[in-house]
Amino acid sequence: MRIGILTSGGDCPGLNAVIRGAVLNGIKTYGHEFVGLRDGWRGLVEGDVMELPRAEVRGISKQGGTIIGTSRTNPFEGERGGPENISRTMAELGIDAVIAIGGEGTLAAAKRLTDAGLNIVGVPKTIDNDLDATDYTFGFDTAVSIATEAMDRLRTTGESHHRCMVAEVMGRNVGWIALHSGMAAGAHAILIPEQSVTMEQVNEWVGQAAERGRAPLVVVAEGWIPDGAEEAFSTRGLDSFGRPRLGGVGEQLAESIEAATGIESRATVLGHIQRGGVPTAFDRTLATRLGMAAVDAVSDEAWGMMVSLRGTSVIRVPFQAALNNLKRVPPKRYEEAAILFG
Amino acid sequence: MRIGILTSGGDCPGLNAVIRGAVLNGIKTYGHEFVGLRDGWRGLVEGDVMELPRAEVRGISKQGGTIIGTSRTNPFEGERGGPENISRTMAELGIDAVIAIGGEGTLAAAKRLTDAGLNIVGVPKTIDNDLDATDYTFGFDTAVSIATEAMDRLRTTGESHHRCMVAEVMGRNVGWIALHSGMAAGAHAILIPEQSVTMEQVNEWVGQAAERGRAPLVVVAEGWIPDGAEEAFSTRGLDSFGRPRLGGVGEQLAESIEAATGIESRATVLGHIQRGGVPTAFDRTLATRLGMAAVDAVSDEAWGMMVSLRGTSVIRVPFQAALNNLKRVPPKRYEEAAILFG
Amino acid sequence: MRIGILTSGGDCPGLNAVIRGAVLNGIKTYGHEFVGLRDGWRGLVEGDVMELPRAEVRGISKQGGTIIGTSRTNPFEGERGGPENISRTMAELGIDAVIAIGGEGTLAAAKRLTDAGLNIVGVPKTIDNDLDATDYTFGFDTAVSIATEAMDRLRTTGESHHRCMVAEVMGRNVGWIALHSGMAAGAHAILIPEQSVTMEQVNEWVGQAAERGRAPLVVVAEGWIPDGAEEAFSTRGLDSFGRPRLGGVGEQLAESIEAATGIESRATVLGHIQRGGVPTAFDRTLATRLGMAAVDAVSDEAWGMMVSLRGTSVIRVPFQAALNNLKRVPPKRYEEAAILFG
Amino acid sequence: MRIGILTSGGDCPGLNAVIRGAVLNGIKTYGHEFVGLRDGWRGLVEGDVMELPRAEVRGISKQGGTIIGTSRTNPFEGERGGPENISRTMAELGIDAVIAIGGEGTLAAAKRLTDAGLNIVGVPKTIDNDLDATDYTFGFDTAVSIATEAMDRLRTTGESHHRCMVAEVMGRNVGWIALHSGMAAGAHAILIPEQSVTMEQVNEWVGQAAERGRAPLVVVAEGWIPDGAEEAFSTRGLDSFGRPRLGGVGEQLAESIEAATGIESRATVLGHIQRGGVPTAFDRTLATRLGMAAVDAVSDEAWGMMVSLRGTSVIRVPFQAALNNLKRVPPKRYEEAAILFG
């Protein structure tokens, strides 16, 4: 078989390890050939490919990013988009099947294309860990590690200056990164989109920590908005690039805390450093296994399936299983964490 | 309740996070009091305790080691050992229950003591990840991370000098650390106690990598012995301290590879650095959750149960479930990894 | 002697190592006693002290921050400020001499107080490396390391998305952190306050890198303003906290580059993570040596002198030597770095 | 000009940054061409070269190792060795000058070849920091950082088990790595080849730390031998590979300490991880500057000179200046460190 691989959506540590795992397993176990489809669906739509012989994936599992590029191209748009055109392009390129590595949007598109008869298997990718039907996704552990290490640093400065430090982490819709990094760093408050919390409650947690002589550490996911203050926090909206405005929730939160408690407060937006660079060992191993399993699925012609982590096993689930629901932080996990606040 | 906590056996990153999670949950949710039993079972047997108020566990989840000390004391030995004496000591100290954090030996002892009527719940601890009935144990991810980072370093030196680098990692009975760190580091051979492999096979993998112009990286768990060469590899045995002799399997393997292939080979024994220092974010979060869950179990008087990770959930299982079998690397996991060798 | 130690101004990794070095050398070599003056000059002015016996400095050299707190209090203000009051307070507290660890403002104040007869020696502290009369200051190497590691991460994301990544680092008046981290990370442009550069030049460098297929990396010190565009870049000014507005130079630069070159551009503001957390080995050793040397200077009654790194030696220089000039990046160093741009 | 670059001797983080700095400066400032001489002097003697266009050095400054390989070949041996043969080979390859990156042996050879009329400039390279006429050499800071981080890990285990931890670091002839990493890690004893210390003294330091309730940390350079016990420590000598036998000084020291003090003691040999992998920011910047300066020296036809760090400046010194003396740790630096022992 000749298999195309694409990586789609935001960058995520472990993409290269998936690619390497797929290529090595495919070549050594099955004798497959591989091409990289450049920049996500764009490469498939436009037929823009690069050969992926074994030498090309040499040593890349520890490199962040993706050697085949990524983008947010929609495969149903443009004059060469849609299942019929893509099918023709695949035939022209001699591509028998596609491994699509991406998040919700990518998997939804893959499902539609598979339903239309294309040969696709999926690998779930989300730095935010918000895809259902998989225990974890690669990249998440790296993001949590980077955020935790940054918070370890912020804390010492908070304590030297008797300040409240606010760390804004990724998570527009879900708070997994905030929850895990906040627990790991011993945060005094963790604020996530799934949970309504008032500023009064936030200030109470901050005040409790300060009373015990600690420098309060507040972790906030970028998508959180305080209960009852939606307006004040949402006015700034998106900037001219369509991104959440810097001076976003973290900055506003620090201002609110300082105004209410009198405790000097500072915000740090961790931003893009959470999604780049060397993956953790956990993510490298997981990503390698997922890439290998994706090729097994292709070889079994398990179209419409994605590979997934369940406990310590890699299994297959239909695309739909990942698309039914956003995987939110369950209330129980938040309550567990909240015991440690204040 | 007044609860004693003990940490027993080898050091393991995350022990302090377990202690902090237990103490904070116990104080805030239930109003329990805590004491640390110094140096594992010794503290319980001898009644050597330290108070563990909230201030004592401040900021410790990111510290390696254990603030209450550890040892390999057997609670059934000595004139103050055994369930009756211990029961009396607990009464004298006003300790209602014990949280025992430890590995197979500790949990086996805890089971015997619980069977004799003592109030004990357990938290599984093994750097080697060899305890059954739990997906992972804290400390393992840190060990794998440290080993992987060390191998990343060894590789560059191997490639500069066109050498074969052998990394000896922990694992006397099981190869989990070798398997995960070796996969993460892209090793050309991984050798684990669970799997018989001949030196001919090892040399073939090394030779294949060298032929492709790579510097071979071989990861070996300290307990591996080559198939058919048990005698040669086992002669050196233990040193005067009862430890596997330095110049152990890694060194012998490097000599064998160099002799057979002509490729200059060097061994590095990672040793104690794998089990100390700052835990990874993964381990801190897991350990915190386990500590919290252990206190919930104590509060439910779930004597004889240990807390355990199943998928993303923390559950309870009887001690016996962890003791039935050593959790070995399954043949399937090794075969999966072996596809990448050579 | 009974010696007071104070840390003043912004947080800086290595402060605790200075304190430990001073206390250990003082106790072991001279039999001195130590007290910590809480929160910089405030502790001296208000007589707010903590004893610093040996046990108090145990293991702190690897901790970021300062165990005695810091602030930006001016010792000449308030009703207990000024040399006469301070002299009286020192007498009351039995403090014979003060070791003042701080930057330009601290050393200038120390000079005035010394001129008025107080017994003070100084230890230079500036994360920005902008103090004259010393080759390096502790904390700078840590800041450069953190910034470099963050840039390594940003690069992989830039390359996956074919974006220009802008990293904003500390440096309001000088560009040392930008220069060193930018060189270490292989930046395609480094922009520092000392050097006038037009946006045209910046865009040219960015374009050259993009033409060679690279994802441009631009490092900018927070105090840089493009030549000829002062107005556009300066309008946003300070926010209500008196801090440079988030959405500062990095964000504006990314917008300008994207608008001019058409290359998608993203900014990351590294912020407070650059000045907290575990110091590098370089900074720990340097800080320890400076702390030890400061006590030697006190013992020699070398009032008005600060300890300083010259090559590999720790020497003494008068406060004034550090105050004559801000240590700016010399044009030659910038020209050297600029050869690598584009 | 067409310039050959070679890297010779043991691996050292920063070699690739030197190569990149040289190539970029040479191409952009002077229009030079570059070839890599494979595996040190061997490539020059045998005429084994690889072209080094700009693309080849892309992104390598953060990679450990050397892309052109290294070896310990002596350029005066073999039938193609010696100045006349090498001169002829250079002419055949069109190589006008050579940049030799290496330690004492390499620079001594370079001096002899330069004296015989060859066009060579040098870049000092020693992980051990033992070359005279330069304040620091690249790679040293990385080695110290790795060793320090390892010791931070060992300490927590030492404290959990109340053990004495012995860390054996590189340094056969000089103790710079031991001195700096030991100071950074807060060691209770540092043992270096330059300084005679008896086992009685070592045991006293260990005992003092233990009495204060600390887990003693002893750092020993591989070349240290206790005063008065040369015989006992030297009997094991070299192994069959000509390397200092594992179970070397660290292991022997741990045995001696345990026997004398009764404190359980464990040794860890850090080994090859100290000389590989990602260089620190400090080393990347230093190495880049040295590579650039080496090309300036070639362009000035400054044959027989090596580039060197003096304070914060890169200067040129004759080869001989680096060869006159091994740069040992001065007694004053050791006495300064020893104040902190015990």
Rounded Cα distance between B178 and B244, Å, is: 17
Q: What token pair was written down for D143? A: 């080695």
Residues of C in contact with D336 (CB under 8 A): 289, 292
Quick one: how far is CA C334 from the chain centroid? Answer: 20
Contact between C281 and D180 using a beta-carbon 8 Å cutoff: yes
ipTM score for this prediction: 0.94
CA–CA separation, A7 vs A73, rounded Å? 11
Q: Describe the strand order of the beta sheet including B120-124 as a list of residue ranges.
A: B49-51, B33-37, B2-7, B97-102, B120-124, B305-310, B313-318
Chain A hits for C70, Cβ within 8 Å:
160-161
Across chain A, which distance is largest between two alpha carbons, in Å? 69
Would the annotation count C251 as a binding residue?
no
Higher-scoring residue by pLDDT: A147, D230: A147
For D145, the domain range is 140-276
Question: Poorest-confidence range of B220-229, C100-109, D116-125?
Answer: B220-229
**B18 and B120 co-located in one domain:** yes
* Chains touching C by CB (3 or more pairs below 8 Å): A, D
Question: What per-residue confidence (pLDDT) applies to D247?
Answer: 62
For residue D213, the chain C residue with the least C-alpha distance is C55
Considering only CB atoms, which chain C residues are within 8 Å of D143? none
- Which is nearest to C142 in space by CA: C330, C294, C283, C300? C283
Average pLDDT over residues B283-302: 98
Residues D148, D103, single domain; the answer is no
* pLDDT classification of C228: cutoffs 50, 70, 90: confident
D255: tokens are 């045995």
Per-residue confidence (pLDDT) for residue C231, from 0 to 100: 65
> Do B41 and B56 fall within a single domain?
yes
Per-residue pLDDT tens digits for D280-309: 999 999 999 999 999 999 999 999 999 999
Co-location of B169 and B95 in the same domain: no
Q: Which residues of D are catalytic?
A: 128
Does the residue C264 lie in any domain?
yes
Structure confidence by residue, pLDDT tens digits, B84-135: 999 999 999 999 999 999 999 999 999 999 999 999 999 999 999 999 999 9
Pairing between strand C313-318 and C305-310? antiparallel
Instruction: Show which subunits contact D, needing at least 3 CB pairs below 8 angstroms.
Output: B, C
Same domain, B185 and B160: yes
pLDDT for the residue numbered A234: 54
- The mean pLDDT value for A312-336 works out to 96
Cα D68 to Cα D55: distance, rounded to the nearest angstrom:
14
Per-residue pLDDT reduced to its tens digit, A276-318 = 999 999 999 999 999 999 999 999 999 999 999 999 999 999 9
Cα–Cα dist A320/A307, whole Å:
12
Q: Is residue A60 part of a domain?
A: yes
Is residue C293 within 8 A of residue C307, CB to CB? The reply is: yes
Q: What is the mean pLDDT of chain C?
A: 95
Q: Which residues of A touch C277 (CB under 8 A)?
A: 149, 152-154, 156
Q: Which helix (H) or strand (E) holds B191?
A: strand B189-191
D13 CA to chain B: closest CA distance, Å? 9
The pLDDT value recorded for residue B124 is: 98
Q: Any binding-site annotation on D104? A: yes
Q: What is the pLDDT of residue B230?
A: 72
Q: Is residue A35 part of a domain?
A: yes
How many domains does chain C fold into?
A: 2
CATH number where B210 lies? 3.40.50.460
pLDDT bin (cut points 50, 70, 90) of residue A246 is very low
What's residue A237's pLDDT? 53
Are D291 and D269 members of one domain? no
At position C230, the amino acid (one-letter code) is E
Per-residue b/e over B101-110, b at no fewer than 16 CB within 10 Å? bbbbebbebb
CA distances from A187 to A202, A337, B59 (A): 12, 10, 10
CA-CA distance, B95 to B32, in Å (whole number)?
Answer: 11
Q: What is the pLDDT of residues A87-103, one digit of tens each?
A: 999 999 999 999 999 99
Beta strands in chain C (DSSP E): 2-7, 33-37, 49-51, 97-102, 120-124, 164-169, 189-191, 217-221, 265-269, 305-310, 313-318
Report the relative pairing of strands C305-310 and D33-37 from DSSP bridges.
Answer: unpaired
Cβ of D69 and B258 within 8 Å? no
Q: Is residue C327 part of a domain?
A: no
What pLDDT is recorded for position A217? 98
Residue A239, pLDDT > 60, answer no
pLDDT at D241: 47
Residues C287, C164 share a domain: no
The average confidence (pLDDT) of chain A is 95
Q: Is residue C298 in a domain?
A: yes
Burial of A311 (0-12, 13-18, 19+ CB in 10 A): middle
> What confidence tier does D214 reach under pLDDT thresholds 50, 70, 90?
very high
**Per-residue pLDDT at C159 exceeds 90:** yes
* Pair (D42, D84) in one structural domain: yes
**Parallel, antiparallel, or unpaired: how do β-strands D2-7 and A217-221 relate?**
unpaired
**Contacting residues of D for C285, CB less than 8 Å apart:** 144, 180, 183-184
- The SS3 assignment for B244 reads strand
Q: Are residues A99 and A196 in the same domain?
A: no
Out of A111-125, C14-28, C224-238, D177-191, pick the least confident: C224-238
Q: What is the mean pLDDT of residues D89-112?
A: 98
Q: B47 and B130 in one domain? A: yes
pLDDT computed for residue B233 by the predictor: 72
Which residue in A153, A219, A243 has the most chain C C-beta atoms within 10 A of its own C-beta, making it the best mutation to test that interface? A153
Quote the percentage of chain B above a pLDDT of 70: 95
- Where does the pLDDT of residue B229 fall: very low under 50, low under 70, confident under 90, or very high at 90 and above? confident
Instruction: Judge if D25 and D119 occupy the same domain.
Output: yes
* B273 carries a ligand binding annotation: yes
Q: Which residues of D touch C (CB under 8 A)?
A: 20-21, 24-25, 28-29, 54-55, 58-59, 61-62, 135-136, 141, 144-145, 147-149, 152, 155, 180-181, 183-186, 212, 214, 280-282, 284-285, 288-289, 292, 310-312, 336, 339-340
* Residue the block writes with tokens 């790795």: D146
Whether B68 and B101 have beta carbons less than 8 Å apart is answered as no
Active-site entry in A11, A96, A115, A128: A128
CA distance C186 to D57: 11
B73 is in an annotated binding site: yes
Summarize the confidence of residues A249-272 as an average pLDDT. 96
pLDDT at position D237 is 53
Choose the catalytic residue: C39, C48, C115, C128. Answer: C128
Q: What is the structure's pLDDT at C241?
A: 47
Question: Are A339 and B292 a contacting pair at CB < 8 A?
Answer: yes
Binding residues of A: 10, 72-73, 103-106, 126-128, 163, 170-172, 222, 266, 272-275
**Section D34-46 average pLDDT:** 98
Q: For residue D227, what is the DSSP state?
A: B
Half-sphere exposure of A81 (CA within 13 A, CB side): 13
- CA angle, residues C318, C323, C324, in degrees to nearest 5: 100
Residue C328 domain-assigned? no
**In the prediction, which pLDDT does B237 show?**
53
Q: pLDDT at position A247, please?
A: 62
Q: Hey, are the CB atoms on D161 and B275 less than 8 Å from each other?
A: no
Q: Please state the rounded mean pLDDT for residues A256-275.
A: 96
Using the Cα atoms of residue B92, residue B98, residue B101 and residue B103 in order, give the sign of their dihedral. Answer: positive
The answer, yes or no, to whether residue C235 has pLDDT greater than 70, is no
Mean pLDDT computed over B324-337: 96
- Position of tokens 């996070």? B17
Measured in angstroms, the CA of B55 and the nearest CA of chain A are apart by: 9
Residue A297, domain member (yes or no): yes
How far is residue D140's CA from residue D13's CA, in Å, rounded to a whole number? 8
In this structure, of C244-248, C330-334, D45-49, the range with the lowest mean pLDDT score is C244-248
B330: which residues sit within 8 A by CB, 6+ positions away?
none
C22 Cβ contact list (under 8 Å, min separation 6): C3, C5, C34, C99, C291, C292, C294, C295
The pLDDT of residue C232: 66
Residues C89-112, mean pLDDT to the nearest whole number = 98
Mean pLDDT of D55-66: 96
Asked if B112 and B196 sit in the same domain, the reply is no
- What is the CB neighbour count within 10 angstroms for residue A260? 16
Residue D233's pLDDT is 72
- Inside any domain, residue A328: no
Residue D248: pLDDT band (50, 70, 90) is confident
Q: State pLDDT tens for residues B231-260.
A: 667 545 554 445 445 468 999 999 999 999
How far off is chain A from B259, nearest CA to CA, in Å?
Answer: 27
The predicted structure's pLDDT at residue C243: 46
Preferred mutation among D5, D70, D160 to probe B, highest tally of B CBs within 10 A: D160
| Range of lowest pLDDT (B120-124, D74-78, D232-236) | D232-236
pLDDT at residue D257 greater than cutoff 60 = yes
Is residue D318 within 8 Å of residue D48, measured between CB atoms? no
Percentage, residues of chain C above pLDDT 90: 94
Contact status, residue C315 vs residue C308, Cβ threshold 8 Å? yes
What's the pLDDT tens digit per position in B137-175?
A: 999 999 999 999 999 999 999 999 999 999 999 999 999
CATH number at residue C286: 3.40.50.450
Interchain pair A141, B336: CB under 8 A = no
Residues of B in contact with D127 (CB under 8 A): none
Of B131, B135, B121, B109, nearest in space to B307 by CA:
B121
